[in-house]
Structure 1
Amino acid sequence: MLKFELQKAADKLINEIFAVKKGETVVITADTMSDEGLVDAVAASVYSVGGFPMVITIATPGGVGKAADPDIPVDALTGALLGADVWVEFNHQWMLYSTPFEIAMEKNPKLRYMCLVDFSQELLIRTVGNVETPQLQIFMAAFAQRHIDAKEMRVTTPAGTDVSFELDPNHLVCNDCGNATVPGMHMLTGQLNIVPRFGTINGKIVFDGTITPPFGKVPSQPVVLTVENSKIVKFEGGPEAAEYEKYLKSFDDEGMFKMAHIAYGFNPGAKLTGNVVEDERVWGCTEWGIGYVSPIDAPPVGQDAKSHTDGICLNSTVWLDGKLIMEEGVVVDAELAALSPVK
Structure 2
Amino acid sequence: MNITLETAADKLVKEIFGVKAGETVILTADDDSDMSVVQAVKDSAKRAGAHAMVISVPTPGGVGKAADPDLPVDALSAALLCADVWIEFNHQWLLYSTPFERAEAENKKMRYMCLVDFNPELMIRTIGNVETEQLKRFMLEITARTKNAKNMRVTTPAGCDVSFEIDPGHYTACDCGNATVPGIHMLTGQINVVPRFGSINGVIVFDGSVTPPFGTTPDAPIRLTIENSKIVKIEGGSDAAVFEKHLKSFEDEGMFKLAHIAYGFNPGAILTGNIVEDERVWGSTEWGIGYVSPFDAPPHGQDAKSHCDGICLNSSVWLDGVQIMDEGKMVDPYLKELAAFRE
Matched with 1:235 is 234
The normalised TM-score by structure 2 is: 0.91
2:203 counterpart SS class: strand
Q: Which moved more, 1:237-246 or 1:169-178?
A: 237-246
Q: How many pairs align?
A: 341
- Residue 82 to residue 259, structure 1, CA distance change in 2 (3 Å): closer
Q: CA deviation at 1:287?
A: 0.8
Q: CA deviation at 1:59?
A: 4.0
Is 1:159 aligned to residue 154 of structure 2? no
- Residue 93 to residue 222, structure 1, CA distance change in 2 (3 Å): closer
Q: CA deviation at 1:66?
A: 4.8
Cα distance in structure 1, aligned partners of 2:82 and 2:255 = 37
| Deviations 1:140-159, CA, capped at 9 Å, x for gaps | 11111001111111111111
In structure 1, runs of 5+ residues without a counterpart are none
Query: Given that residues 203 and 223 in structure 2 are in contact (C-alpha distance below 8 angstroms), is that contact kept between their aligned partners in structure 1?
Result: yes
- Residue 52 to residue 291, structure 1, CA distance change in 2 (3 Å): closer
Q: CA deviation at 1:321?
A: 1.0
Matched with 2:197 is 198
In structure 2, runs of 5+ residues without a counterpart are none
Is 1:31 aligned to residue 30 of structure 2? yes
Q: Could you tell me which amino acid in structure 1 is paired with residue 32 of structure 2?
A: M
Query: Given that residues 63 and 95 in structure 2 are in contact (C-alpha distance below 8 angstroms), is that contact kept between their aligned partners in structure 1?
Result: yes
1:7-22 counterparts in 2 under 5 A?
7-22=6-21
Q: CA deviation at 1:72?
A: 4.7
Q: Could you tell me which amino acid in structure 2 is paired with residue 126 of structure 1?
A: R
Q: Which moved more, 1:168-177 or 1:263-272?
A: 168-177
Q: CA deviation at 1:182?
A: 0.6
2:152 counterpart SS class: strand
Q: Could you tell me which amino acid in structure 2 is paired with residue 195 of structure 1?
A: V
- Residue 208 to residue 87, structure 1, CA distance change in 2 (3 Å): same
Matched with 1:109 is 108
1:278 counterpart SS class: helix
2:4 counterpart SS class: helix
| Deviations 1:221-258, CA, capped at 9 Å, x for gaps | 11112222222222222112222223323333333222
- Residue 260 to residue 120, structure 1, CA distance change in 2 (3 Å): same
- Residue 197 to residue 98, structure 1, CA distance change in 2 (3 Å): closer
Q: CA deviation at 1:41?
A: 1.4
1:211-230 counterparts in 2 under 5 A?
211-230=210-229
Q: Could you tell me which amino acid in structure 2 is paired with residue 170 of structure 1?
A: G
2:163 counterpart SS class: strand
Q: CA deviation at 1:70?
A: 5.6
Matched with 1:245 is 244
**Identity value in percent:** 69
Matched with 1:256 is 255
- Residue 291 to residue 97, structure 1, CA distance change in 2 (3 Å): closer
Q: Could you tell me which amino acid in structure 1 is paired with residue 336 of structure 2?
A: A
- Residue 226 to residue 188, structure 1, CA distance change in 2 (3 Å): same
| Deviations 1:128-171, CA, capped at 9 Å, x for gaps | 01111122122111111001111111111111111222222222
The normalised TM-score by structure 1 is: 0.91
1:192-341 counterparts in 2 under 5 A?
192-340=191-339, 341=341
- Residue 161 to residue 65, structure 1, CA distance change in 2 (3 Å): closer
Q: CA deviation at 1:272?
A: 1.3
Q: CA deviation at 1:91?
A: 2.3
Cα distance in structure 2, aligned partners of 1:335 and 1:286 = 21
Q: CA deviation at 1:95?
A: 3.1
Q: Which moved more, 1:69-78 or 1:5-14?
A: 69-78
Matched with 2:147 is 148
1:53-132 counterparts in 2 under 5 A?
53-66=52-65, 68-69=67-68, 71-74=70-73, 76-132=75-131
Q: Could you tell me which amino acid in structure 2 is paired with residue 172 of structure 1?
A: Y
- Residue 57 to residue 138, structure 1, CA distance change in 2 (3 Å): same
Q: CA deviation at 1:14?
A: 0.7
| Deviations 1:83-121, CA, capped at 9 Å, x for gaps | 332122122233334444333333322111111122111
1:277 counterpart SS class: helix
| Deviations 1:67-86, CA, capped at 9 Å, x for gaps | 55565555554444333321
Cα distance in structure 2, aligned partners of 1:291 and 1:74 = 21
Matched with 2:175 is 176
Matched with 1:342 is 342
Cα distance in structure 2, aligned partners of 1:76 and 1:242 = 38
Q: Which moved more, 1:104-113 or 1:172-181?
A: 104-113
1:36-47 counterparts in 2 under 5 A?
36-47=35-46
Query: Given that residues 66 and 305 in structure 2 are in contact (C-alpha distance below 8 angstroms), is that contact kept between their aligned partners in structure 1?
Result: no
